[in-house]
Amino acid sequence: MENDKGKLRRDDFKTGILLILLSLGVLWEASTYPMTDSYGGVQNVWYVSPALFPLIIGLLLFILALVLVGNALVFHGWSAVWRDKNVIQTRQGRGDLRFIGVVVFFSAFVYAYIPNVDFFIASVLFLFTFISGYYLERKDVLIINIIFYTLIAGALLLITKITGEPTNHWLTDGLTTFGLFSLFLISQNARNEDETYVKKLRVALLVSILVPAILCPIFKFGLLVPLPSEGIYIELMEQIKYLFRTHS
């Protein structure tokens, strides 16, 4: 058990370094967006800048990646981390798969999901595949998540190519929603007899839904920051907002 934990911590170190580089790339790209601008003689304030959301995401990702690397260093010690060839060289097996998962999840999220799917449901599916893939610490679950997430991304790109612009959110959002709950049911039925596994899986789904459900309205209606892609779920949030405003 201790040996397995040590391997996971070494994998965490490598994954954390990759996420740090990715977060720095996100922050660099976000820094190229204007923080303030003038439209029609009206000066916009910084908190409605399109750079705000990616800056926050990049910063949070950077902090979490530092925590991941820090935990690995605390477990092994700084000198042990750099002495261990398994840390600085690619190890076949679980470590490689975890790297592939990180690359696939983030790449597909940025290039397939964000431009074509309502940001709320795109974030929910991304978080669920990512959290369940690593939180459950099961190789088979991570493989299923990678394959499932990639297939849906490919289908989204195909739909966009066939239907053209603008994005048909009824198709893309519907497909993503169907994919989310299909993946949850497949993962749950895979080990339905394991109560601890099922409980962790449900926690992963709950967290994946709650985080975007809280952050999307804050940015959309509180900070007035337009989300990258707004479809049926963001429109539903707007209808709920107007409903409460009408009755208030």
Residue 6: its pLDDT value, please?
53
Distances (CA, A) of 170 to 23, 118, 157: 31, 10, 14
Query: Each residue of 201-214: pLDDT tens digit?
Result: 888 899 899 988 98
* pLDDT exceeds cutoff 60 at 171: yes
Q: What is the mean pLDDT of residues 178-193?
A: 83
Nearest one of 20, 15, 30, 31 to 63, comparing CA atoms? 20
Q: What is the mean pLDDT of residues 150-160?
A: 90
* Boundaries of every domain in the chain: 2-87, 96-247
Q: Determine contact, residues 185/192, Cβ cutoff 8 Å.
A: no
Residue 205: count other Cβ atoms within 10 Å of its Cβ. Answer: 21
Residue 154: its pLDDT value, please?
92
CA 84 to chain CA mean position, Å = 30
Q: How far apart are CA 201 and CA 144, in angstroms?
A: 14
Residue 94: its pLDDT value, please?
56
